[in-house]
């Protein structure tokens, strides 16, 4: 470990012992979320999410293509994330690296496994023609917690998506059929302190990370643990509790922004 | 569709989107919009939405790219997959590599690179929504981001295009004009001296038409240059007012 992270870690841990965080938040307090939708004219749906200083843009494009042979009557979705050099001095352009792939896969799973997009309604001709939904996530400014920012942006973008049927001469445009999405909340652990929604400085020195996705009924829908540290049973339960409470708040905020 | 099928400009010289021959599309510039970058800019130019971020000067890597006498400038132009009608495959392609190169070279002309030997200055240009004239928009945004980062320059570079539609030379081509027009001349200048730092052309122009296009584009650049400076000053206004 080089010197700067050691100093930073000392600083963060000392603050935590007094019950404080660098930016003055409580341990279980989320940053302010701003959501703007339909900002990209060329995209079928789009959303920019600001989570404190983190900024993520999700754009949805749709196309007509062939279904997979094992699911001939359902649409296809793909997710890609780009950690573009705009967002951080450490990001480089080129083919997606490990981190971008993990991010895209976690967001993809959140949408796919809880069937947020009703893919079975996106069939045009069984076995021949279906709609393909491309989710592209661009990180614009990186100050920690990309998992949550990217998934909120994706959900907001999906809920404003219009299927471009007119462009493909398949009738009128209509809203993309989607179901109520689960909301994910990420916490990190430094020494014995568990903090919700880490900023970059906290994320860089974290021992362990846990993302918990919860649905409207208060049930758990997905989890992903990361980094080489560990959580105790009690800590996990506490993280889940925090994620449930904050998940509800984020959901309300999201719906309010979408005008639902 | 052929050129004749579309009437890009009417007898009175009014264009499809209602603009006059020498009128720019609406432009909005903000500086210092990204937290992580050393300098940044968000620019809307007609239907274009472009971000630029500057990182550096910092040690040039890989090492063999270092120049012992001056800094190297790496502009990277990238288009979002959702920025165009048919989804673009993510990542650099031949077109974006070429644009990155001509923008890097234009920026090297204005940056005082000899002040930072062995360093690199990275300029990331991200096109989120595209509607003709993205390279000029990118160069303009890069200029603001560099100034915002405090990089020493002889001038703030600026770009603007002119072109020819329906037999007439016009300023700042829009989407249909770019697709069905006769010629396109993207131009970048250093506005204080009027030196040309970026110039490309495609299509068909007579020598006189080219000269008119050049005059229009330089005039356009000067107008955009004013907006750039206003955007940079505005950032300090809000600081002064304690917002």
Q: What total number of domains does chain B contain? A: 1
Q: Which of residues 221-260 of A touch B (CB under 8 A)?
A: none
Inter-chain residue contact B130 with A88, CB threshold 8 Å: no
Which residue has tokens 């392609």?
B93
Confidence (pLDDT) at A180: 86
What string of pLDDT tens digits covers the 260 residues of chain A?
577 788 989 999 999 999 999 999 999 999 999 999 999 999 999 999 999 999 999 999 999 999 999 999 999 999 999 999 999 988 887 777 788 988 999 899 889 888 899 999 999 999 999 999 999 999 999 999 999 999 999 999 999 999 999 999 999 999 999 998 889 999 999 999 999 999 999 999 999 999 999 988 888 888 888 888 889 999 999 999 999 999 999 999 998 888 76
Using a CB-CB distance cutoff of 8 angstroms, which residues of chain B are in contact with residue A140? 34, 51, 126
What range does the domain containing B21 cover? 3-240
Examine residue A141 and state whether it is found in any structural domain, yes or no. yes
Q: Is A86 in Cβ contact with B37 (below 8 Å)? A: yes
Tens of pLDDT, residue by residue over B18-27, are: 999 999 999 9
Give this complex's ipTM: 0.80
Give me the DSSP letters along A137-205. Answer: EEEEE-SS-HHHHHHHHHHHHHHT-EE-TTTTTSSS-EEPPB-PPPEEEEEEEETTEEEES--HHHHHT
What count of other Cβ atoms lies within 10 Å of the Cβ of residue B44?
18
pLDDT digits (tens, 9 = 90+) for B86-136: 999 988 899 999 999 999 999 999 999 999 999 999 999 999 999 999 999
On whether the pTM is more than 0.90, the answer is no
B43-67 confidence digits (pLDDT tens): 999 999 999 999 999 999 889 999 9
Domain membership flag for residue A46? yes
Which residues of B fall within a CB distance of 8 Å from A59?
Answer: 80-83, 128
CATH number, domain at B75? 3.30.230.70
CB nearest B35 (choices: A53, A94, A96): A53
- A138: which chain B residues are within 8 Å (Cβ-Cβ)? 80, 126, 128
Q: What is the reported pLDDT for B237? A: 82
User: How does pLDDT run across B211-230, given as a tens digit for each residue?
Assistant: 999 999 999 999 999 999 99
State the sign of the Cα–Cα–Cα–Cα dihedral A202, A205, A207, A210: positive
Interface of B with A in 41-100 (CB under 8 A): 47, 49, 51-53, 55, 58, 76, 78, 80-87, 90-92
- Compute the nearest-CA separation of A217 from chain B (Å): 34
Domain extent, residue A139, equals 12-258
- What residue of A is the nearest CA neighbor of B54? A86
Name the domain count of chain A: 1
Put simply, whether A100 touches B (Cβ < 8 Å) is no
- CA–CA gap between residue A237 and residue A181 (Å, rounded): 22
Q: Residue A18 is part of a domain; what is its CATH number? A: 3.30.230.70
| Residue A2 is assigned to a structural domain of this protein | no
**Helix axis angle, A98-113 to A146-159, nearest 10°:** 50
Please, what sign has the CA dihedral across residues B109, B110, B112, B117? negative
Closest partner CB to A141 (pick from B34, B85, B90): B34
């Amino acid at each position: 470990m080089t010197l700067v992270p050691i100093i930073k870690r000392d600083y963060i841990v000392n603050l935590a012992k007094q019950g404080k965080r660098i930016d003055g938040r409580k341990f279980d307090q989320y940053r302010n979320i701003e959501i703007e939708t339909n900002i990209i004219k060329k995209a079928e749906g789009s959303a920019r999410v600001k989570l404190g200083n983190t900024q993520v843009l999700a754009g949805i494009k749709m196309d007509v293509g062939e279904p997979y042979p094992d699911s001939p009557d359902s649409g296809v979705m793909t997710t890609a994330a780009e950690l573009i050099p705009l967002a951080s001095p450490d990001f480089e352009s080129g083919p997606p690296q490990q981190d971008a792939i993990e991010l895209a896969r976690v967001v993809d799973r959140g949408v796919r496994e809880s069937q947020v997009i009703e893919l079975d309604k996106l069939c045009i001709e069984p076995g021949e023609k279906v709609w393909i939904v491309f989710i592209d996530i661009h990180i614009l400014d990186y100050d920690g917690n990309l998992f949550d920012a990217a998934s909120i942006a994706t959900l907001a973008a999906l809920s404003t998506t219009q299927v471009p049927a007119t462009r493909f001469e398949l009738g009128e445009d209509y809203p993309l059929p989607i179901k109520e999405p689960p909301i994910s909340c990420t916490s990190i652990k430094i020494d014995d302190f568990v903090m919700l929604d880490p900023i970059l400085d906290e994320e860089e020195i974290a021992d362990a990370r846990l993302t918990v996705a919860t649905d409207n009924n208060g049930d758990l829908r997905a989890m992903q643990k990361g980094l080489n540290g560990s959580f105790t049973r009690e800590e996990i339960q506490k993280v889940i509790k925090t994620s449930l409470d904050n998940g509800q708040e984020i959901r309300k905020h999201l719906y309010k922004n979408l005008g639902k | 569709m052929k050129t004749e099928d579309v009437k890009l400009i009417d007898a009175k010289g009014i264009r499809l989107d209602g603009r006059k021959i020498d009128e720019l599309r609406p432009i909005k510039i903000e500086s210092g919009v990204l937290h992580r970058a050393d300098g940044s800019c968000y620019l809307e130019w007609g239907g274009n939405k472009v971000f630029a971020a500057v990182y550096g000067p910092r040690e040039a890597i890989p090492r063999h790219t270092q120049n012992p006498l001056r800094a190297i400038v790496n502009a990277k132009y990238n288009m979002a997959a959702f920025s165009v009608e048919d989804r673009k495959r993510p990542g650099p392609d031949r077109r974006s590599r070429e644009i990155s190169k001509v923008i890097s070279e234009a920026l090297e002309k204005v940056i005082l690179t000899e002040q930072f030997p062995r360093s690199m200055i990275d300029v990331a240009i991200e096109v989120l929504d595209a509607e003709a004239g993205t390279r000029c928009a990118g160069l303009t945004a890069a200029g603001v981001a560099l100034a915002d980062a405090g990089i020493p320059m002889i001038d703030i570079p600026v770009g603007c295009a002119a072109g020819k539609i329906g037999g007439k030379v016009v300023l700042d081509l829009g989407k249909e004009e770019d697709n069905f027009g006769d010629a396109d001349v993207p131009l970048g200048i250093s506005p204080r001296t009027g030196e040309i730092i970026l110039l490309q052309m495609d299509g068909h122009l007579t020598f006189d038409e080219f000269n008119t296009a050049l005059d229009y584009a330089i005039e356009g650049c000067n107008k955009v240059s004013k907006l750039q400076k206003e955007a940079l000053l505005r950032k300090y206004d809000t600081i002064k007012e304690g917002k």
